Structures are given as structure tokens and as C-alpha cells.
Amino acid sequence: METRHVLIVDDSSTARMIVQRCIQMSGLPVETFGFAENGLDAIAYLRETQGVSVVVTDINMPKMDGQTFLRLLKSDPATGGIPVVVVSSIVEGGEDRALLSLGAAAVIKKPVSPAKILEAMGGMA
């Protein structure tokens, strides 16, 4: 993975910090991070910011949940090519497959760890 700008989307500031720290500890060459509290804020961020190469998002969030955000992101030609990693505590086998069918590159069940991040994001070019 080349140097990246990662957008982390989660309504919990603690969860955003943990995901950021796990990415940093994974050894992936991420240079910058952006943050959003929900899917609606993430869409606005992506419209205003160029160069986001990976999005890491939660599912349960206010205003716009992660599943709706994923659908909108993947249906927009300007953002549809950005890989999305879903991180959630509620992911079960069926929901996991549904998120992948919507275009998620990977699904990580919380608690997140540097090893899980590396496994999910390490092969993204």
C-alpha cells in the first residue's frame, strides 16, 4: 500500500482514535487521516477533500448509518473506486456478506487490532 489518506468514520471519538492508532501500529504507510462522525459528514468530507484512498467506517451511527453511506459512496462515480473497510461490533455472517455485496473491501469485527487492520488493508493498492 502506498502512502495514503485514510478517512475514519465513527460517531465515537474514542473509536476513531483507536482505529487511527491501530492503523499507525500496523506499519501501513498512512500519511494523513481525516475524520467524520457519521455517513452524512463523510459524504461532505469526500466532496471537499481530494486524495482519500481508503475509508474505514462503523455501521451504527446517527444521521446516516454506515450501510447507507457505503451504498451512496459506491454509487457515485467520483467515490465509487475508494476501498471501504467496515469496522463494527454487530457484524454477523449474513450482514458481513451483505456489506461485501454492497462494495465493502473488507469487514472487521470489533475489537479492532493492528493485525486485523493489516490483514484488511495490507493488500490494497
Q: Provide the pLDDT for residue 2.
A: 58
Q: What's the pLDDT band for 25 if we cut at 50, 70, 90?
A: very high
Mean pLDDT over each residue of the chain, to the nearest integer:
89
Burial of 104 (0-12, 13-18, 19+ CB in 10 A): buried
In a 3-state reduction of DSSP, which class is residue 113?
A: coil
pLDDT exceeds cutoff 90 at 40: yes
Which grid coordinates belong to 105? Answer: 473491501
* pLDDT at residue number 64: 84
* Domain count along the chain: 1
| E strand spans, the chain | 4-9, 30-36, 54-57, 84-88, 106-109
**What pLDDT is attached to residue 3?**
54
- The phi-psi region of residue 88 (left if phi > 0; otherwise alpha if psi is between -120 and 50; otherwise beta) is beta
> Which domain range does residue 95 map to?
4-121
Q: What CATH number should be reported for the domain holding residue 14?
A: 3.40.50.2300
What percentage of residues in the chain have a pLDDT greater than 90?
65
CB-based contact 75:103 (threshold 8 Å): no
Q: Assign 122 a pLDDT band (cuts: 50, 70, 90).
A: confident
Peptide bond just before 62 cis, omega within 30 deg: no
| pLDDT score of 92 more than 70 | no
